Amino acid sequence: MLTKTLIAGSTALTLTAGLAAAQTVGFSQIGSESGWRAAETTVTRQQAEERGIDLKFSDAQQKQENQIAALRSFIAQGVDAILVAPVVATGWDAVLEEAKEAEIPVVLLDRMVDSDKELYLTAVGSDLVEEGRVAGKWLVDEVAGAECRVVELQGTTGSSPAIDRKKGFEEGIAGADNIEIVRSQTGDFTRARGKEVMESFLQAENGGKDICALYAHNDDMAVGAIQAIKEAGLKPGTDIKVVSIDAVPDIFLAMAAGEANATVELTPNMAGPAFDALAAYWKDGTMPEKFIQTESKLYTQADDPQAVYEQRKDLGY
Ligand code: AHR
């Protein structure tokens, strides 16, 4: 544990103890709703271990109240920093104020909050709107002017990726009058709900014959939906095009089998940049940018999905 003092009223910290002691970081993870989330947890543990950081892990099982309780417990323990992947965007002000009062820097991972930016040190994540935009533009090019009725599986209601990926996709298809989102519902970022909701879409859309494409806010929901499409007697990837986000190994397997068409990558390594920012902050109070953006990349069936699967399958997804 390091002793901390305020510098001239700012939130920067000075170190009054030696650097020998390992820093302790509390990590409030949402849960394990998706393969991507599991990979983020694995990578965060690895990154902490490589840097000699003592990581205190707390699984919120998808509940914001559990995350708030975990943050309060980390504050009471006097950790040197807190990482939080916020399940939803609202409702964080009070606990973030408490962390600030305790002079504990908070770093947001992969999702955003609607609180004042002064309440956290930085946020590491992708441009979630751009991810949706890329998916939408891919579909515009793919259907090349043909009529296309789209069904959308949204992420967890109230989460920043669900809000932003929806917005981005709508922007991506704006101006393409041939493309219309005809149904849109949450599948909560899980494979099981993705399948269930897709079944109801198929039923409502002439057994799926009236659906041209599925846009899923993550790969896990897409994989569940692919199963539903097959069970309905249709060919995913051909009868119904599938575009989603995350780039987890299972979607590359589906792409290799011709059952999914495209995915937009979200790196699970949010902790690396977060720990780099914290190291500089702990060292001499260096303030990072408020948003540290990670790379996103579009993969299609042209990108040798089988080879990408082989590269990724043992990475903790
Ligand atoms: O916040 C990132 C999203 O959360 C991922 O795309 C999804 O798989 C996860 O559960």
Percent of the chain past pLDDT 70, that is, above it, reads 94
Q: Is the pLDDT of residue 155 over 80?
A: yes
Backbone phi, then psi, for 213, in 5-degree steps? Answer: -150, 150
Q: Is 111 in the pocket of ligand 1 (CB under 6 A)?
A: yes
State in Å: Cα 164 to ligand 1 middle.
Answer: 12
Nearest atom within ligand 1 for CA of residue 245: 6
Tokens matching residue 261 = 């068409």
The position carrying tokens 């650097």 is 19
Q: Is 37 in the pocket of ligand 1 (CB under 6 A)?
A: yes
d(CA 238, CA 140): 16
Q: How many residues does the chain have?
A: 317
> Given this model, what pLDDT does residue 10 score?
39
> Given this model, what pLDDT does residue 17 score?
41
Using most ligand atoms within 8 A of CB, pick from 32, 34, 164 the residue to mutate for ligand 1. Answer: 34
Q: Is 191 in the pocket of ligand 1 (CB under 6 A)?
A: no
> Given this model, what pLDDT does residue 13 score?
45
293 within 8 A of 126, measured Cβ to Cβ: yes
> Given this model, what pLDDT does residue 1 score?
41
d(CA 87, CA 68): 11
Q: Average the pLDDT over 265-270 and give the result.
A: 97
> Given this model, what pLDDT does residue 3 score?
40
**SS3 sequence, 214-274?**
EEECCHHHHHHHHHHHHHCCCCECCCEEEEEEECCHHHHHHHHCCCCCEEEECCCCCHHHH
In CATH, what number does 24-125+268-286 get?
3.40.50.2300
Strands 13-15 and 213-216, by their bridges, are unpaired
Strands 106-109 and 81-84, by their bridges, are parallel
Q: Is the pLDDT of residue 2 over 60?
A: no
220 within 8 A of 248, measured Cβ to Cβ: yes
The position carrying tokens 């009062």 is 101
CATH 3.40.50.2300 location in the chain: 24-125+268-286, 128-266+300-313
Q: Which of 39, 63, 44, 67 is nearest to 55 (CA)?
A: 44
Encode pLDDT of 214-231 as tens digits: 999 999 999 999 999 999
Backbone phi, then psi, for 260, in 5-degree steps? Answer: -135, 155
Using most ligand atoms within 8 A of CB, pick from 109, 110, 112, 131 the residue to mutate for ligand 1. Answer: 110
Using most ligand atoms within 8 A of CB, pick from 154, 220, 246, 296 the residue to mutate for ligand 1. Answer: 246
**CATH classification for the domain delimited by 128-266+300-313, as one of 3.40.309.10, 3.40.50.2300, 3.10.330.20, 3.20.20.20:** 3.40.50.2300
Tokens matching residue 37 = 């989330």
Q: Is 113 in the pocket of ligand 1 (CB under 6 A)?
A: no
20 vs 154, higher pLDDT: 154
Q: DSSP per residue over 25-44, as a string?
A: EEEEE----SHHHHHHHHHH
Consecutive H or E run containing 13? strand 13-15
End-to-end CA distance of the chain: 32
> Given this model, what pLDDT does residue 128 score?
98
Q: Average the pLDDT over 25-32 and give the result.
A: 98
User: Given its phi and psi angles, is residue 247 left (phi above 0), alpha (psi -120 to 50 degrees) or beta?
Assistant: left
Consecutive H or E run containing 90? none
Q: Is the pLDDT of residue 5 over 60?
A: no
Strands (E), 19-127: 24-29, 54-59, 81-84, 106-109, 122-125
Q: Is 34 in the pocket of ligand 1 (CB under 6 A)?
A: yes
> Given this model, what pLDDT does residue 52 score?
97
Query: Atom 2 of ligand 1 has which residue's CA nearest to it?
Result: 110
Q: Is the pLDDT of residue 7 over 70?
A: no
Confidence of residue 316 (pLDDT cuts 50, 70, 90): confident
Mean pLDDT of all residues belonging to the chain: 94
